[in-house]
């Protein structure tokens, strides 16, 4: 079963985690880790008396919401349905969407306190899960037979995914001596104000590849926000691999080389860069690949992407041997 990668057991008092209820836009993030169709997805549910919770709402009529209600009210077999209603009486279950424990992203989505679920009076919030094919207390049944044939097996060379051994962004101006290597997000911006300039660096270790050439290499980055709309962003090769994740700053950043690729980034979602030639040029040396993301043209756009420290959608270099 596909599902949310983090723990499903408990939320604590004081809103240390954000549990977003009935908000379709949050599924733009959670669905990226679901396998197959939505009907195979893990859902989060809560049980308990409404007096234990703050800020409970029950709105939402988007397509995701309707699909979820189809599961909770199975039209083919009502005995498989999961009782659900907005006014919790202690015996029914209410749907809750899981979202990042990241206040920055909550702010970007415009999620206010009325969308969070918090404990009252020292109470713990307990959560359960249910997947398609069974209801509470029932063992899972077989998955539905797919209506589409499975995709054919891949042809050609072996595809290997490499995740960064280091990534960080640097920032100019008054932040020029600070390091941002442990943040869960990376950032890029070119501004006429030095303190708003940001560049993102990534390094991959390809020492497990014994050959000195590969067929294809694609860098994939997950964009979490793009202020002021889509824009083409250039990617550059970095000749030096001596920089460190927790030591690199604007003041000591490595020099970058020629532009390798440019891609128009989505507002939210994956962006891909073809870096085949540069990767091949590095395989004859120490097999380290350093890259830098930065828009050389001054713009007001701010790009944020997930870093390797993020639990979801980390940067990846896909190499076909």
If one counts the domains in the chain, the total is: 2
Q: What is the 3-state secondary structure (H, E, C) of 84-106?
A: ECCCCEEEEEEEEEECCCCHHHH
pLDDT at residue 74, rounded to an integer: 56
Q: Are residues 79 and 227 in the same domain?
A: no
Q: Are residues 122 and 59 in the same domain?
A: yes
Phi-psi region of 56 (alpha: psi -120 to 50; beta: other; left: phi over 0): beta
User: Is position 145 within any domain?
Assistant: no
pLDDT at residue 197, rounded to an integer: 93
- 304 burial (CB, 10 Å; 0-12 / 13-18 / 19+) is buried
User: Is position 5 within any domain?
Assistant: no
User: Is position 2 within any domain?
Assistant: no
Locus of tokens 């240390």: 16
Q: Are residues 173 and 248 in the same domain?
A: yes
CATH of the domain at 253: 2.60.120
Q: Are residues 189 and 277 in the same domain?
A: yes
Q: Are residues 221 and 309 in the same domain?
A: yes
Q: Are residues 197 and 274 in the same domain?
A: yes
pLDDT at residue 155, rounded to an integer: 57
User: Is position 63 within any domain?
Assistant: yes
Q: Are residues 66 and 203 in the same domain?
A: no
For 51-98, write each residue's pLDDT tens digit.
443 333 333 333 333 444 444 555 666 665 544 333 333 333 334 433
pLDDT at residue 58, rounded to an integer: 35
Domain range for 242:
159-320
pLDDT at residue 62, rounded to an integer: 38
User: Is position 150 within any domain?
Assistant: no
pLDDT at residue 149, rounded to an integer: 60
* Last residue of one domain, picked from the residues 112, 130, 148: 130
User: Residue ranges of the chain with pLDDT lower than 50?
Assistant: 1-71, 82-144, 146
User: Is position 285 within any domain?
Assistant: yes
Q: Are residues 183 and 247 in the same domain?
A: yes
User: Is position 275 within any domain?
Assistant: yes
For 283-315, write each residue's pLDDT tens digit.
989 999 999 999 887 666 789 999 999 999 999
Q: Are residues 169 and 122 in the same domain?
A: no
User: Is position 143 within any domain?
Assistant: no
pLDDT at residue 297, rounded to an integer: 77
């Amino acid at each position: 079963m596909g599902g949310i990668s983090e723990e499903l057991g408990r939320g604590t008092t004081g809103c240390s985690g954000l549990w977003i209820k009935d908000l379709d836009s949050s599924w733009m993030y959670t669905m990226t880790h679901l396998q197959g169709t939505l009907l195979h997805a893990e859902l989060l549910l809560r049980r308990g008396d409404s007096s234990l919770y703050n800020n409970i709402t029950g709105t939402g009529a988007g397509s995701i919401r309707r699909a979820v209600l189809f599961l909770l009210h199975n039209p083919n077999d009502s005995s498989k349905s999961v009782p659900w209603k907005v006014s919790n009486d202690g015996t029914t279950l209410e749907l809750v969407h899981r979202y990042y424990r990241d206040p920055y992203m909550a702010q970007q989505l415009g999620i206010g306190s009325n969308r969070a679920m918090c404990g009252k009076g020292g109470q713990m919030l307990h959560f359960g899960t249910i997947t398609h094919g069974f209801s509470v207390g029932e063992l899972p049944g077989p998955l539905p037979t797919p209506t589409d044939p499975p995709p054919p097996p891949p042809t050609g060379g072996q595809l290997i995914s490499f995740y960064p051994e280091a990534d960080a962004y640097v920032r100019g101006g008054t932040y020029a001596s600070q390091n941002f290597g442990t943040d869960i997000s990376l950032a890029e911006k070119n501004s006429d104000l030095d303190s708003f300039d940001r560049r993102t660096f990534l390094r991959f270790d390809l020492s497990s590849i014994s050959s000195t050439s590969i067929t294809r290499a694609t860098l994939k980055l997950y964009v979490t926000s793009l202020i002021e709309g889509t824009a083409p962003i250039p990617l550059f090769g970095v000749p030096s691999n001596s920089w460190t994740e927790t030591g690199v700053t604007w003041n000591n950043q490595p020099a970058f080389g020629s532009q390798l690729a440019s891609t128009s980034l989505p507002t939210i979602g994956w962006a891909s860069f073809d870096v085949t030639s540069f990767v091949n040029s590095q395989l004859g040396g120490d097999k380290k690949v350093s890259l830098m993301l930065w828009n050389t043209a001054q713009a007001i756009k701010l790009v944020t992407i997930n870093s390797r420290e993020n639990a979801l959608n980390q940067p990846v270099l896909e190499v076909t041997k």
